[in-house]
Amino acid sequence: MSFFQTVFLGAIAGFTIYLGLPLGRIKGISEGARSFLSMTSAGILLFLLIDIFTKLSEPIKAAIVDNKNWGEFTLLLTIFIIGFGLGLMGLIAFEHQFIKFRAVAGQALSPTRLALMIATGIGLHNFSEGLAIGQSAGRGEIAFAALLIVGFGLHNATEGFGIVGPLVGGDRPSWSFLGLAGLIGGGPTFIGTIVGYYFLSSAMFVLFLSLAAGALVYIIGELLHINRRPGTKFQAGWGLFVGFIFGYITDLILTIAGI
């Protein structure tokens, strides 16, 4: 598979995220339904967080268990700790400095700002997916690269809903805003494909996944905070359950298919 073919298909895999974004323009939804949909987003992200920890642990464990290389193990573990901290605290700094949000006691992020935070966390995760696509194609593993493109494309389509979950039923986001959110969330898959085609290291893989993990911990906390309403706890609980199971079944189907 040539470089341009790989990059083109990697772009498709990333920008399927736009398939779920138009759901954010739905209006006329009750508070209970809105809480359910928002927490479904949290459930998807919670599963994604667990999946990220599973994947980034593999090279760290392999360094000591398979390679018996304490130096590599220490390096990767250090990268994970620093990356996780930067992902968590860096997103808070991004919120204050670039989104110009001024927090007050007890105030949560607005749905629009939270959607941008979610898109940022998902974008960091999707960069690592692009790295996997590019690496496989660059090494001549065409069939596996094609499976990754299909699998990640399907998975990214569900992440679009994860971004707009907090927006459903509220102020209708503009098409330009949805375009920006999709670019932030899906664009890194395209960039990662380019980088991964020529270069990939375990250190880079661990760094970007740990950044994504830290970001998602903060985002999930914000989603839980804005949906902590006595009258909608039941709907919120079901939403969290449905979102997590949906993410798990999607991943399970891809695993059974060998992706």
**Which residues of the chain fall short of a pLDDT of 70?**
1, 27-29, 91, 94-109, 139, 141-148, 150-151, 154-155, 158, 169-171, 200, 254, 257-259
206 near 79, Cβ under 8 Å?
Answer: yes
> Both tokens of residue 253?
């189907």
Q: How far apart are CA 241 and CA 105, in angstroms?
A: 29
Report d(CA 147, CA 143) in Å as an integer.
6
Q: Scanning the structure block, which residue is given the tokens 């700002």?
A: 113
Question: And the tokens for 51?
Answer: 């999946």
pTM: 0.70
d(CA 38, CA 170): 11
* DSSP count for the chain of H helices, then E strands: 8, 0
Those residues with Cβ within 8 angstroms of residue 99's Cβ, 6 or more apart along the chain or in another chain? 113, 116
Residue 147's pLDDT is 62
Amino acid at 160: G
Local structure of 28: helix, strand or coil: coil
User: Which pLDDT score, from 0 to 100, does residue 258 have?
Assistant: 62
pLDDT of 75: 94
- CB distance 19 to 157 below 8 Å: yes
pLDDT at 102: 46
Three-state DSSP class for residue 26: coil
- The Cα 43–Cα 164 span in angstroms is 13
Instruction: Tell me what pLDDT residue 170 has.
Output: 66
If you search the block for the tokens 């569900």, which residue do you land on?
158
Token pair listed for 45: 């992200």
pLDDT at residue 79, as a whole number: 94
Please name the residues in contact with 238: beta carbons below 8 A apart, sequence gap of 6 or more: 36, 39
